[in-house]
Amino acid sequence: MFKKSQIIQLFFDFHLIKSSKHIQEGGEVDEGCLIVQLYQNNGSWFFSLKLEGDLLMDSGQEHHGTDNVVLCCMDYRLRKAVAQWIDEHLGEADLLGKAGAAQSIIKAMSRETILDDIGIAINLHGATTLHIIDHIDCGAYGGSGKHADKEAEKEFHKGELACAKQIVLEKYPQLQVKTYVMDWPSFAVEEVEVEQICTIS
C-alpha cells in the first residue's frame, strides 16, 4: 500500500506516460480504480491501483499491453498475409482494418473514428508505434487500373501514407509511425520512407 504522496512521487520517479484517470491538481487522485503505465529503461508495466481512504492499494494485477498497432485495409485477401507479417515482425499488435488504410485517416468522414481507435490502443494497451500498411490493387482507391504501372501505384500510395502519417502525428506526436506498401499478389511488404508534406482538408 502507498500513501497518495508516495505513489505520486513514484509516478514521477518512473516517468508516468499515461493513465486511464488523471492525477488532479493538488496531488489528489480520482476515486475508484486507477490503471497506470510506468516506464523505465525501455520497458513498460501496467498496474492496477485502488484508492481506499487516503491509501492506494496495489491490486497485484498486471495488465496486458502491446507496443504496436497496425492499420491495414479491410480487404479479405490480405487477412492471412497481414497476420503472418505481424507474427514474424512484431510478435503481437492491435489490428485495425479499414477500407483504404491510409485513406481512412485522410478522409474526413472516417478520420476521427480511426484516430479514436488509435488512441484506445495508446491509452489502454500502451502502443508506441503505429504501422500503416497500404496495398497494391486497393479497391478503395480504384484498383491498379488507375495507374500506369506498379511503380507509379506505389509512389501514389507513398503520398497517401505521408498524409496519413502527418495527420496521426498532429494528434499523437508521441507515436512512432511506420509506413508500408504490400504488393499484390505476392503479399511482400516493403517499408517505405515518406517525407512529403501535404495539405489536409
Residue 57 inside a domain? The answer is yes
Q: Is residue 201 part of a domain?
A: no
Answer yes or no: do 19 and 101 share one domain: no
CA distance 58 to 107: 43
Query: In terms of domains, do 40 and 121 share one?
Result: no
Burial of 3 (0-12, 13-18, 19+ CB in 10 A): exposed
Shared domain for 24 and 82, answered yes or no, is no
Does residue 198 belong to any structural domain of this protein?
no
pLDDT at 16: 36
Q: Alpha-carbon distance 19 to 128, whole Å?
A: 14
Bridge partners (DSSP) listed for residue 46: 37
Could you tell me which residue, 19 or 66, shows the higher pLDDT?
66
pLDDT in tens, 32-46: 444 444 433 333 344
Identify which has the larger pLDDT, 97 or 49. 97
Tell me, what CATH number does 81's domain have? 3.40.1050.10
pLDDT confidence of residue 29 = 40
Question: Is the per-residue pLDDT at 67 higher than 70?
Answer: yes
Q: In whole angstroms, what is the distance from residue 10 CA to residue 21 CA?
A: 16
Provide φ and ψ at 179, rounded to 5°: -125, 145
Asked if residue 165 and residue 125 are part of one domain, the reply reads: yes
Does residue 73 sit in the same domain as residue 166? yes
Is 118 domain-assigned? yes
Q: What is the tally of structural domains in the chain?
A: 2
Residues 81 and 163 grouped into a single domain: yes
Average pLDDT, the chain: 77
Indicate if 77 and 174 belong to the same structural domain: yes
Q: What is the pTM of this model?
A: 0.70
Which range of residues forms the domain containing residue 136? 68-191
Final residue before a domain boundary, out of 24, 40, 62 = 62
- Per-residue pLDDT at 196: 64
Q: What's the whole-number mean pLDDT along residues 8-26?
A: 37
